[in-house]
Structure 1
């Protein structure tokens, strides 16, 4: 923090506990009132993803930016945080692999899904960018109840079906 004297005045009891927890994993999280959980890398892509969810007939349940360091731990933390919301009917993971490789994110999704078990809501994963083809193959061959998409329009259709 640039101003430690100001940081010392922070009172986390005045903050949303879920947002505080997300911060411990370096996740940027804002709780919203919708039914589709979002896990995205980059604020701009997160905003576009939330717009796409609305166009598909859903409502974003959160803003969750995993940044450029998405790995199994951050994906698992993201899942745990999103699933605390009982209103979430589906989770959309939309990652553009520039800094972070898509296959690394896919492996994180699979590892987190296996660790958490019993995820009873649809998970839609759209990975585009570095190693996207390998990532889609990992997801598709994982045997998990996870749907993968390449195109944003395809992800939107899957979200629409999930919340219908």
Structure 2
């Protein structure tokens, strides 16, 4: 789950470099809200090939705290049977990271892009 086509391509490449591959990707666009993120999770979870959700957001117009709230809404409201890795950078990143950290949910949060991609592949492989 990304916000931008360039970031999507970069994320797919990072997952491949980490030894895996993306089942798909979903671009939320530049002004994603919490509800957009939750709806995005609903779409992604319809694909049975998905073994892990990697949320990789670089915010300008997209606010990190809104993304974090959407991830938490999705985790709480949907039947989450796959692990979730979250990397939020850019606008309101600290607030978003704090929301994720304080959620008490089993989310895997990272600052480093490559570490996040590696963790997503590790979790996906463990689910096989």
TM over 0.5: yes
Q: What is aligned with 1:58?
A: 20
Moved over 2 A (4+): none
Match of 2:104 among 143, 146, 150: 143
Q: 1:75 aligns with which of 13, 18, 37?
A: 37
| Residue 154 (structure 1) aligned with residue 115 (structure 2) | yes
Summarize deviations over 1:12-71 as a string: whole Å, max 9, x none. xxxxxxxxxxxxxxxxxxxxxxxxxxx100000000000011111221111211011211
Counting matched residue pairs gives: 125
Q: Which blocks of at least 5 consecutive residues in structure 1 are unaligned?
A: 1-38
Cα RMSD (Å): 1.1
The structure richer in strand per residue is 1
Query: Residue 129 of structure 1 corresponds to which residue in structure 2?
Result: 90
Rg larger in 1 or in 2? 1
TM-score (norm 2): 0.91
Contact residue 54 and residue 117 of structure 2 kept, 8 A? no
Is 1:119 matched with 2:97? no
Shift of 1:148: 0.7
Deviation of the 1:163 alpha carbon: 2.2
Which 5+ residue runs of structure 2 have no aligned equivalent?
A: none
- With structure 1 as the length reference, what TM-score do the two structures score? 0.72
The answer to whether the Cα contact below 8 Å between 1:102 and 1:130 also exists between their aligned partners in 2 is yes
- 1:108 is displaced (CA, Å) by 1.3
- Indicate conservation of the 8 Å contact 1:140/1:147, yes or no: no
